[in-house]
Chains A and B, each alone.
Chain A
Amino acid sequence: MSTLRGSRRLAVRLARHAALALPGASSPWTEAMRRELAYIADDRAALRWAFGCVLASYKARLAARSGSRTRDALRQAAASGAVMLVIGLAFLENAGGQTEPPRPIPDEPACDAQNTAADTGQMPATGAAGIAPDARRPARRPEASCTDPHSEMRMPLTSEPSRGESQ
């Protein structure tokens, strides 16, 4: 090795460095590049060859790294997609196939305690300031479903306004 001239020695070192820089799976290629050096008689040509070897190994290394990054990105995207799908399916299952919020059923009898109280002249239990019952307005009987069966007897209904009163 000591008989090697400067440029040849440098070429050998560079080729060795190229072999170290290249990923492990490509080792036959690094050996191929390094051994080819022995067949190049011209020292300058050998040096150029060795520089090329370093360049080739760095290119291969970068390609391997970018390949693994792409794989990682694809893996992450797939995982995110799967999570989104699971969440979407969970929502769909809870919604029971609904696409709109539930609407109130119009036939269902409504029980409005405040209105009933105003109509009957009674103050609502929770109201702070009651509304004075309008004597002219005809009294509305509360819905049957809102009252108990005996309420008709006890309910103090206001009398219908007579024509004489209104004039």
Chain B
Amino acid sequence: MPRKPNNSRQTRTLLAALLDSGLTWRHGYDLSKETGLRSGTLYPLLMRLSEQGLLESRWQEAERPGLPPRHAYRLTASGLALAREQELAAIAAERKEALA
């Protein structure tokens, strides 16, 4: 049976973190700290979500002088829809477990 795409625990964690931020731009290191995902896991996920059109990225100028521009990320409309769908599915699964 083929695996459902974007349904791994790490992807769900990342999508949940990005959904909480809404339309706010997030940075890689911040996301890594919040989700507990290391850069070796986080960046492949970000790349994949971006390829699928679920994530948009842009370069942001540094807030302090002397620092390089930073890559920032947020979910696209379809990414937000998927993240909401997964959140609802997770809530439904939790309720089902509680009832059982």
Q: Are B71 and A40 in contact (CB under 8 A)?
A: no
Restricting to B20-76, which residues have a CB under 8 Å from any CB of A? 27-29, 32, 38-44, 46-47, 57, 67-71
Restricting to A41-81, which residues have a CB under 8 Å from any CB of B? 48-49, 51-56, 59-60, 63
Majority secondary structure of chain A interface residues (helix, strand, loop or mixed): helix
Choose one: A39, A48, A55; the contact of B27 (CB below 8 Å). A39
Instruction: Take A29-B43, A56-B44, A60-B44 as given contacts and tell me if A36 and B38 are in contact as well, using a CB distance cutoff of 8 Å.
Output: no
Q: Are B43 and A33 in contact (CB under 8 A)?
A: yes
Number of contacting residues on A, CB 8 A?
Answer: 22
Instruction: Take A36-B70, A60-B44 as given contacts and tell me if A48 and B38 are in contact as well, using a CB distance cutoff of 8 Å.
Output: yes
Which chain B positions have C-beta within 8 A of A53? 39-40, 43
Which chain A positions have C-beta within 8 A of B70? 32, 35-36, 39
* A54 to B41 Cα, complex, angstroms: 11
C-beta contact mask, B60-100 vs A, less than 8 Å → 1, else 0?
00000001111100000000000000000000000000000
**A104 CB to nearest chain B CB (Å):** 57
B residues apposed to A, CB below 8 Å: 27-29, 32, 38-44, 46-47, 57, 67-71
A residues apposed to B, CB below 8 Å: 26, 28-29, 31-33, 35-36, 38-40, 48-49, 51-56, 59-60, 63
Q: Are A39 and B39 in contact (CB under 8 A)?
A: no
Which chain A positions have C-beta within 8 A of B38? 48-49, 52, 55
* A51 to B67 Cα, complex, angstroms: 21
Known contacts A52-B41, A55-B40; 4 further A-B pairs (Cβ under 8 A): A53-B40, A53-B43, A56-B41, A60-B47
Best-surrounded residue of B39, B41, B42, B46 (most CB of chain A within 10 A):
B39
Q: Are B29 and A49 in contact (CB under 8 A)?
A: yes
Which chain A positions have C-beta within 8 A of B43? 29, 32-33, 52-53, 56
The residue on B at minimum CB distance from A30 is B43
